[in-house]
Amino acid sequence: MRYTGINHLAMATKDMDTTIRFWRDLLGMRLVAGLGRPGYRHYFLEISENDMIAFFEWPGVAPIEQKDHGVPVKGPYAFDHVSIGVRDRNDLWELKDALEAAGFWASEVIDHGFIFSLYSFDPNNIAIEFSCPVPGVDIRSHPVNADRHPSATALEGADPQRGKWPAPERPTPLAERRIYPGEGRELVLMDDE
């Protein structure tokens, strides 16, 4: 398998127009696709050439309770924040200025040693981090685990460990590989009209 990035991270909003205004018009991400029918919308915004963020608009959804980035919680929880990569620290300052000019809270720029980060929230109270690499530091090329008490699994190293899960007994034969129609086909069918 070869991964190319996050195709899209799907979030929820009650107000697609306000969400588009924030992500497209304030943050500068292109609106590249939109699906909809009464009571349902699903829109995609381009973060980079490989990554998108998407929003479902559901009339009954409410903004999540605002929670500081990385602060532990109890009970069911699946998501803390999304970190969006930017080129360099100048982009962080440009984002900070834009967010504050628009009335959104923005943190100070924080040095995490391997990345510089700026924190904020979107209109849905989704916690956002913007991060750029610290020049000369590349943890992807040189993985580091500074956990003083790592688990046995983490001690196995950075690379995937083969044999930890059962191998497929019968890979799907080419003749049985079917792809079924789903939401979104209208995006390409419109080009054919």
* Portions of the chain given CATH number 3.10.180.10: 1-60, 80-143
In this predicted model, what pLDDT tens digit does every residue of 24-77 receive, in sequence order? 999 999 999 999 988 889 999 999 999 999 999 998 898 888 888 888 888 877
CATH fold for the domain made of 1-60: 2,3-Dihydroxybiphenyl 1,2-Dioxygenase; domain 1 (3.10.180)
Q: Alpha-carbon distance 83 to 117, whole Å? A: 9
Query: Is residue 193 over pLDDT 70?
Result: no
Query: Is residue 157 over pLDDT 70?
Result: yes
Residue recorded with tokens 């034969």: 173
CATH superfamily of 80-143: 2,3-Dihydroxybiphenyl 1,2-Dioxygenase, domain 1 (3.10.180.10)
In this predicted model, what pLDDT tens digit does every residue of 136-153 receive, in sequence order? 999 999 999 999 999 999
Q: What is the pLDDT of residue 183?
A: 85
- Residues in contact with 6: Cβ distance below 8 Å, sequence separation at least 6, in sequence order: 50, 51, 52
